[in-house]
Amino acid sequence: MVTYEHYIPVVAFIAVGILIPGGAMIMSWMIRTKNPYPEKLTTYECGEEPIGTAQMQFDVQYYIYALLFVVFDVETVFLYPWAVVFTDIGMIAVVEMVIFIAMLLVALVYAWKKGILEWTSLSWREVQVKMEPEK
Protein backbone atom coordinates (compact mmCIF):
# COMPACT_ATOMS: atom_id res chain seq x y z
CA MET A 1 0.00 0.00 0.00
CA VAL A 2 1.32 3.39 -0.96
CA THR A 3 1.09 6.14 1.62
CA TYR A 4 2.68 9.48 2.33
CA GLU A 5 4.64 7.87 5.13
CA HIS A 6 7.60 7.17 2.86
CA TYR A 7 7.83 10.71 1.56
CA ILE A 8 7.87 12.60 4.84
CA PRO A 9 11.52 11.57 5.44
CA VAL A 10 12.34 13.03 2.02
CA VAL A 11 11.07 16.41 3.22
CA ALA A 12 13.49 16.19 6.17
CA PHE A 13 16.33 15.32 3.79
CA ILE A 14 15.53 18.32 1.56
CA ALA A 15 15.56 20.58 4.63
CA VAL A 16 18.89 19.25 5.90
CA GLY A 17 20.33 19.27 2.37
CA ILE A 18 19.60 22.99 2.16
CA LEU A 19 20.64 23.69 5.76
CA ILE A 20 24.14 22.19 5.42
CA PRO A 21 25.43 24.50 2.65
CA GLY A 22 23.29 27.39 3.91
CA GLY A 23 24.53 27.04 7.47
CA ALA A 24 28.14 26.62 6.39
CA MET A 25 27.92 29.79 4.33
CA ILE A 26 26.36 31.76 7.17
CA MET A 27 29.05 30.51 9.56
CA SER A 28 31.82 31.53 7.19
CA TRP A 29 30.06 34.88 6.58
CA MET A 30 30.40 35.63 10.29
CA ILE A 31 34.15 34.99 10.58
CA ARG A 32 35.62 35.63 7.17
CA THR A 33 37.65 38.62 6.03
CA LYS A 34 36.09 41.24 3.79
CA ASN A 35 38.34 43.50 1.77
CA PRO A 36 37.02 44.02 -1.74
CA TYR A 37 38.56 46.46 -4.19
CA PRO A 38 37.90 46.94 -7.92
CA GLU A 39 40.80 44.86 -9.18
CA LYS A 40 39.80 41.95 -6.98
CA LEU A 41 36.25 42.06 -8.28
CA THR A 42 37.19 41.69 -11.92
CA THR A 43 36.51 38.37 -13.55
CA TYR A 44 39.40 35.91 -13.29
CA GLU A 45 41.05 35.26 -16.60
CA CYS A 46 44.59 34.17 -15.75
CA GLY A 47 45.55 37.68 -14.69
CA GLU A 48 44.65 39.30 -18.00
CA GLU A 49 41.92 41.85 -18.57
CA PRO A 50 38.81 39.75 -19.29
CA ILE A 51 37.80 39.84 -22.94
CA GLY A 52 34.07 40.10 -23.61
CA THR A 53 31.49 38.22 -21.60
CA ALA A 54 31.64 34.56 -20.69
CA GLN A 55 28.04 33.99 -21.64
CA MET A 56 28.99 33.40 -25.24
CA GLN A 57 28.06 31.05 -28.04
CA PHE A 58 28.94 27.39 -27.56
CA ASP A 59 29.48 24.51 -29.92
CA VAL A 60 26.24 22.93 -31.17
CA GLN A 61 27.65 19.50 -30.34
CA TYR A 62 26.62 19.87 -26.67
CA TYR A 63 23.00 20.37 -27.71
CA ILE A 64 23.03 17.31 -29.96
CA TYR A 65 24.24 15.14 -27.09
CA ALA A 66 21.46 16.56 -24.91
CA LEU A 67 18.87 15.73 -27.59
CA LEU A 68 20.17 12.16 -27.81
CA PHE A 69 20.07 11.96 -24.04
CA VAL A 70 16.39 12.91 -23.87
CA VAL A 71 15.51 10.15 -26.35
CA PHE A 72 17.43 7.46 -24.48
CA ASP A 73 16.31 8.73 -21.08
CA VAL A 74 12.65 8.31 -22.01
CA GLU A 75 13.44 4.85 -23.30
CA THR A 76 15.16 3.64 -20.14
CA VAL A 77 12.20 4.86 -18.13
CA PHE A 78 10.08 2.15 -19.80
CA LEU A 79 12.60 -0.53 -18.89
CA TYR A 80 12.18 -0.06 -15.13
CA PRO A 81 8.57 -1.27 -14.82
CA TRP A 82 9.46 -4.00 -17.30
CA ALA A 83 12.26 -5.25 -15.04
CA VAL A 84 9.80 -5.44 -12.15
CA VAL A 85 7.05 -7.40 -13.94
CA PHE A 86 8.54 -9.41 -16.80
CA THR A 87 9.09 -12.68 -14.95
CA ASP A 88 5.40 -12.69 -13.98
CA ILE A 89 4.19 -12.09 -17.52
CA GLY A 90 6.58 -14.55 -19.13
CA MET A 91 8.40 -14.85 -22.43
CA ILE A 92 6.05 -12.52 -24.32
CA ALA A 93 7.24 -9.55 -22.26
CA VAL A 94 10.85 -10.39 -23.06
CA VAL A 95 10.05 -10.53 -26.77
CA GLU A 96 8.34 -7.15 -26.55
CA MET A 97 11.36 -5.70 -24.81
CA VAL A 98 13.87 -7.19 -27.25
CA ILE A 99 11.93 -5.55 -30.11
CA PHE A 100 11.98 -2.27 -28.20
CA ILE A 101 15.72 -2.46 -27.53
CA ALA A 102 16.43 -3.49 -31.12
CA MET A 103 14.53 -0.44 -32.35
CA LEU A 104 16.66 1.81 -30.16
CA LEU A 105 19.87 0.11 -31.20
CA VAL A 106 18.82 0.89 -34.78
CA ALA A 107 18.40 4.51 -33.74
CA LEU A 108 21.83 4.52 -32.10
CA VAL A 109 23.48 2.95 -35.14
CA TYR A 110 21.76 5.49 -37.40
CA ALA A 111 23.02 8.39 -35.29
CA TRP A 112 26.47 6.83 -35.23
CA LYS A 113 26.58 6.35 -39.02
CA LYS A 114 25.42 9.92 -39.57
CA GLY A 115 28.41 11.01 -37.53
CA ILE A 116 26.65 12.95 -34.78
CA LEU A 117 28.24 10.88 -32.02
CA GLU A 118 31.57 12.43 -32.92
CA TRP A 119 32.80 15.13 -30.56
CA THR A 120 34.25 17.05 -33.50
CA SER A 121 33.60 16.69 -37.20
CA LEU A 122 37.36 16.73 -37.73
CA SER A 123 39.49 13.69 -37.08
CA TRP A 124 42.07 14.00 -34.32
CA ARG A 125 44.83 14.22 -36.95
CA GLU A 126 43.05 17.11 -38.66
CA VAL A 127 42.75 18.93 -35.33
CA GLN A 128 46.48 18.57 -34.81
CA VAL A 129 47.19 19.90 -38.31
CA LYS A 130 44.88 22.86 -37.66
CA MET A 131 46.61 23.70 -34.40
CA GLU A 132 50.09 23.72 -35.91
CA PRO A 133 51.35 27.26 -36.53
CA GLU A 134 51.48 28.31 -40.16
CA LYS A 135 54.93 28.43 -41.65
Partner 1 sequence: MTRVHGGLYAEDMEQLYHGPVPYVILAAGAVIFVAATAAVGIALSFIGSLGSTSFWNNPWVRGIVGAVLWAVVVGGGGLYLTLVERKFMARVQVRYGPNRWGPYGLLQPIADALKLMRKEDIIPDAADSLVMRLAPIIAFAPSFMLFAAVPWTAEYVASKMDIGVLYIIAVTSLTPIGVLMAGWGPNNKYNLLGAMRFAAQELAYEVPLILAMIGPIAVAQSLNGVAIVEAQSGYWFGVIPRWNIFPQFFGAIIFFVAFMAETGRIPFDIPDAEGEVVHGFSAEYSGMKFVMLLLLEYVHLIAGAALFVVVYMGGYLGPAPLSQFAWFTLKLLFVILVMMLIRAVWFRVRIDQIMDLGWKILLPAALINVGVIGVVLALTV
Partner 2 sequence: MKEVAADLIVFFILALVSIFAAVMVMEAEDIFHAALFLALLFTVISGVYILLLAEFIAAIQLLVYGGAIVVLILFAIVLTNRAGKVGDQSLKNLLMRTAAIIGFTALLVQPILKTPWPQRMIETTGLNTYAVGYSLFTDYVIPFEVVSLALLSALIGAVYLSKREVEA
Applying the rule CB under 8 A, the residues between 83 and 102 that interact with partner 1 are: 83-88, 90-91, 93-94, 97-98, 101
Residue 112, contacted partner among partner 2, partner 1, none, CB below 5-8 A by kind: partner 1
Residue 22, contacted partner among partner 2, partner 1, none, CB below 5-8 A by kind: partner 1
Report if residue 106 touches partner 2, rule: CB under 8 A: yes
One of 17, 22, 27, 78 touching partner 2 (CB under 8 A) = 78
One of 47, 49, 53, 113 touching partner 1 (CB under 8 A) = 53
Smallest separation (angstroms) from partner 1 to the CB of 135: 26
Whether the CB-CB separation of 64 and 72 falls below 8 Å is answered with: no
> Amino acid letter at 34?
K
49 CB contacts (<8 Å, ≥6 apart)? 42
Whether the CB-CB separation of 110 and 102 falls below 8 Å is answered with: no
The SS3 assignment for 113 reads helix
Output 114 or 130, the one with its CB closest to partner 2: 114
Q: Give the Cα separation of 118 and 106 in Å (integer).
A: 17
